[in-house]
A = this chain, B = another copy of it.
Amino acid sequence: MGRPALIDRDVVLATGLAVADDHGLDALTMAAVAARLSVTPMALYRHVANKADLLDGIVELLLTEFPPPPVGPWADRLTALADAIRTSAQRHPAVFPLLLQRPATTPRARRARTSVYWALKDAGVAADRIEQTERLISTAILGFAVSEAAGRFRHHSRRQLDADFAQLQALLGSFIESESQIAGAGPGGEGAPG
C-alpha cells in the first residue's frame, strides 16, 4: 500500500466552505482549495469526483450546522430550528442559496425534516397533512434565509429583518395551530387534554 494521506474528503469540504465564506462563490476554485491545503489541485480529485461533487458535499456539510432541536414544546423546537437555519445562512451567504437546488433526500437532510415532522405531530397536525405542512413552512423559512443571505434585503436594517422574520414565524405558528386537530391547541407540549 501507499503513503499516509495528507488530506481527506472532510477537510476538502470544510476548506472549500471556508474559501467560499471568506472570498465568495466565484473564488471557490479547485486551485484555491488546494492552495489552502498546501497541495496540488489534482490531489483533490482523489477525494471529490469533480467540482459539482465538491459543491454537493459543501451543501451537505451545511446541514450539519442545524443542531438537533431541544426538548420542549413543539413551538419552541420549531423556533430553535428556524433560528438555526437563519444563522447558518448568515454565516455562509455564498453557498447557502445552493440548498434550494438540491432535493432533501440525503440522510442528514432527512434528519432535519424528521424533527419538523415530530413537532407537527405534537402540535396536533393530522398525519396526512404533516408532509405538506412541512414543505410549506420549510419553503417559507428557507426563502427568507436565502433572500437575506443572497442580498435581496441588503438595503434593509438588521432590526427590520429581525422583525420580518419574527412576523413570518408567527404567521407559520398560527397556520400550524389552524391545522391542529387538538381543540384550542396552544404552543404547548402535547396540546390541551381531552
Residues in A lying within 8 Å of B, measured CB to CB: 97, 100-105, 132, 135-136, 139-140, 142-144, 146-147, 150-155, 160, 163-164, 167-168, 171, 175
Contact = CB atoms under 8 A, between A and B. Distances in A.
Contacts of A152: 100-104
A139 to B, nearest CB: 5
> Which 3 pairs between the two chains have the least Cβ-Cβ distance?
A143-B143, A101-B150, A140-B140
8 contacts: A100-B146, A100-B150, A101-B151, A103-B151, A132-B160, A136-B167, A139-B143, A143-B143
Nearest to A145: B143
A180 to B, nearest CB: 15
Given A101-B151, A147-B143, A150-B101, A171 B132 contact: no
How many of these chains are in the complex? 2
Nearest to A140: B140
A108 to B, nearest CB: 15
A90 to B, nearest CB: 15
Contacts of A153: 103, 135
